[in-house]
Each structure stands twice: as C-alpha cells, then as structure tokens.
C-alpha cells in the first residue's frame, strides 16, 4: 500500500518522540512518517545484508516487516551479521532477529516465515507486502525473487556483496529495469565463489545493507531519486563508488511464471559432480589414520587463507584454482604416485569438483563427505569452524 489513506494512520505520543528527528526533516515530515508506519516490507534473509537493513527499517518506523529465513545462528556469522549475538548462537535466525527488532522498536510488527523461499511459496509470501528487499547470497534465489516481484508488481531492492565489493539497485520500480535486464543469464556454476569460499569484509555488509534500507525508505516516501535505473558499485578497499546506467531490455522475454531456478542456474548439473566420485566419511578417514595407513594421500583444495584457519592433520594444500589451471594436477600425480587419493574442502563441493577434473586427467580419488566442517563437528572439535 504505497499510497495509504494517511487519515487512518495515527502516531502515539511515544512514536512522536521516537521519530521526531524524521518528522522535522522537510523531506519526510509527519505524513512521511505515517507512510513508513503504514508500509510493509518483506526481507529475504537475515544474514550479512539482512542484519543492518532490518535494524534500520525497524528503527525508521516501518509498520510491518516480514522475514524469510530457515537458518540458525552460527558463530561464524557474527563477524558481519550484527542483528545476532553470541547468546543467540544455535537459535533460529528468525527468532533472534525478531527479538532484536522488538528490543529496538516494539511498535514494529514482525512476521516470520521459517522456510526456504521457492517457486511454490514465493508469490503467497510476498504478495501482502509493499516492497521486497533481497538480502540473499545465491543466484537461484535472486532470479526467483526478481521474477516474483515482476509478476506481483513489487519494487525489488537489490544488494550483493563479495570480498571488498558490493552492488545495490532498485529493480522493477517506476517502469525501470529488473534484475534480468541487467543479468539475463546466471554465471556458470562455480564461477563466482560464495562468501563462505571467497570471504567478505564484515563492514561491507553494513554499507550495502544500509544503502538497501535507505532505498527502501525512499521508495515508500515516493522520492524520485532512488537507484532505479542505476547500479551502484562500491569498493571498500579503495573507498570508491561508481555508477552504471541501466535501462529495460525491450527484447527480454516476458516474465509470466516462476520456473525451476536451481535448474536455470545449472545447480543440478554442478551437484551431480559430487555423485560422480566415490565418497568416504570422516569416521572412515579417522580409522585410516588410527591404522597408521601409509597407502593414501590427503589433499586440501581450499584457499591458503582457509588452510591457515583450520586443517586436518596430514593434509597437503593444493588449491582448486591450481588444479583448474593444470599445475595442481601434476602436483597431485607426483604426490600420489600410486597411493590412494582422498580430497577435502570446507563442505565437499569444491573437492568433488577437483576430483572430477583429476578423474578426467586419469587420477581417481575419493571425496571426504562434509569436508573439514564434518571433521570439526564429528571428530575433532578443536578444529575451528568458519
């Protein structure tokens, strides 16, 4: 309801005091604050981007916020997901976020959707809300959220982060472009590492998430200075911003229904690599170690910085990037020299990919199921999770 009947919206004495710094802004005023109270916003995710944007939307006086998430709070989240705290580790992120929002602003209604957003439920979840904010970190969900917003006619406030760089825009607003106009096709699976693989500067999330919150508020207030038609690029390392002009693509096929976004992004094909190589459990690897077996070689295909955080005893670091470039393949051949090859990464995906490359080069190997995370959880809790 981006054009509410403001006569029906009332502020209490406590709300006048709470929002006074907004109300005295000529660009907001009393009617603007009422618009914020009457508005509803759906936020997909309570992670790095969702944390700051949820806090600032609640603080600004958004009347109703819907949150979609199905994860639990992990200690590795706390470097950037500031809506959560140490005391909330192990709790559902939804409950953690709701508690923090109500502590910040008890006047905010919070709706919780403890589920993964899918093609089956997206339209029903997003339909009641005026604005959708995409705080996700994967391509299938970004395309899903975009397409659902197009079908429902909802503005889509977009943000993404990786390492030291972030992006933000407002899609599907005032006849502006949507996500598919800018990114018609997803990148090949595995080409863009996740933040769990490539890392992310924690405060970068605060910058991009705050920009998303700002743009959401501007959309609700009806300002004509939003990022619609512009893609804002931010580099935290050089502390620089730049813009790309965007426009709708007249040749883009119409978006009329939701599809299988995992298949669209090539995820099933990528995951099938994991089934093309044999697997072993961390218990089986531990048994091999206890038997003092010397007929196997364990390689770690993570990045060097990950190796510094945590390692499995006896593992040799040969990063996936080296295997993809070919040098690593020769290193593995020299290292194994007839011995059984076992490979691991953080959770099993990258090592499966490495083993497929090695298999094509004539080197058979076994993937450690669950990777070093499973080792930490099931074998040696002194190995840090990250």
Catalytic residue status for 265? no
CA distance 231 to 171: 10
**Catalytic option among 43, 149, 205, 345:** 345
pTM: 0.80
What is the pLDDT tens value at each position of the chain, 386 positions in all? Answer: 578 888 889 999 999 999 999 999 999 999 999 999 999 999 999 999 999 999 999 999 999 999 999 999 999 899 999 999 999 999 999 999 999 999 999 999 999 999 999 999 999 999 999 999 999 989 999 999 999 999 999 999 999 999 999 999 999 999 999 999 999 988 776 666 666 667 899 999 999 999 999 999 999 999 999 999 999 999 999 999 999 999 999 999 999 999 999 888 876 544 444 457 899 999 999 999 988 777 899 999 999 989 999 999 999 999 999 999 999 999 999 999 889 999 999 999 899 999 999 999 999 999 999 999 999 999 999 999 88
Which listed residue (149, 195, 205, 265) is catalytic? Answer: 195
DSSP string, 107-169: T-EEEEEES---TTTHHHHHTT-SEEEE---SHHHHHHHHHHHHHHT--EEEEEEEBTEEEEE
Note if 345 is an active site residue: yes
Report the sign of the C-alpha dihedral through residues 172, 174, 175, 176, in that order.
negative
Handedness of CA 59, 212, 266, 257 (dihedral sign): positive
């Amino acid at each position: 309801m981006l054009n509410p009947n403001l006569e029906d919206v009332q502020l209490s004495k406590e709300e006048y005091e709470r929002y006074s710094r907004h109300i005295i802004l000529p660009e907001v005023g009393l009617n603007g604050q009422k618009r914020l109270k009457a508005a509803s916003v759906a936020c997909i995710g309570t992670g790095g981007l969702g944390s700051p944007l949820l806090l600032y939307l609640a603080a600004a006086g958004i009347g109703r916020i819907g949150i979609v998430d199905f994860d639990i709070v992990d200690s590795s989240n706390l470097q950037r997901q500031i809506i959560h705290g140490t005391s909330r580790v192990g709790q559902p992120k939804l409950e953690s976020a709701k508690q923090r929002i109500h502590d910040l602003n008890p006047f905010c209604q919070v709706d919780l959707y403890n589920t993964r957003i899918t093609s089956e439920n997206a339209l029903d979840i997003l339909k009641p809300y005026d604005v959708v904010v995409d705080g996700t970190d994967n391509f299938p969900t970004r395309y899903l959220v975009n397409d659902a917003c197009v079908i429902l006619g909802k503005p889509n406030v977009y943000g993404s982060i990786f390492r030291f760089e972030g992006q933000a825009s407002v899609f599907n607003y005032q006849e502006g472009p949507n996500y598919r106009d800018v990114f018609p096709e997803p990148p090949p699976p595995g080409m863009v590492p996740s933040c769990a693989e490539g890392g992310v500067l924690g405060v970068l999330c605060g910058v991009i998430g705050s920009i998303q919150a700002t743009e959401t508020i501007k959309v609700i207030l009806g300002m004509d200075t939003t990022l619609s038609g512009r893609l804002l690029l931010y580099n935290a390392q050089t502390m620089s911003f730049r813009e790309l002009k965007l426009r709708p693509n007249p040749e883009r096929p119409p978006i009329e229904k939701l599809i299988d976004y995992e298949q669209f992004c090539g995820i099933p094909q990528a995951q099938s690599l994991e089934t093309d190589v044999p697997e072993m459990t961390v218990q089986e690897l531990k048994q091999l170690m206890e038997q003092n077996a010397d007929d196997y070689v364990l390689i770690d295909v993570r990045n060097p910085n990950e190796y510094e955080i945590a390692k499995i005893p006896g593992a040799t670091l040969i990063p996936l990037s080296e295997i993809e470039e070919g040098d690593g393949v020769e290193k593995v051949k020299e290292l194994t020299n007839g011995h059984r090859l076992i490979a691991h990464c953080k959770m099993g995906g990258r090592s499966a990919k490495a083993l497929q490359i090695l298999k094509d080069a004539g080197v058979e190997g076994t993937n450690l199921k669950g990777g070093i995370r499973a080792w930490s959880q099931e074998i040696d809790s002194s190995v840090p999770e990250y």
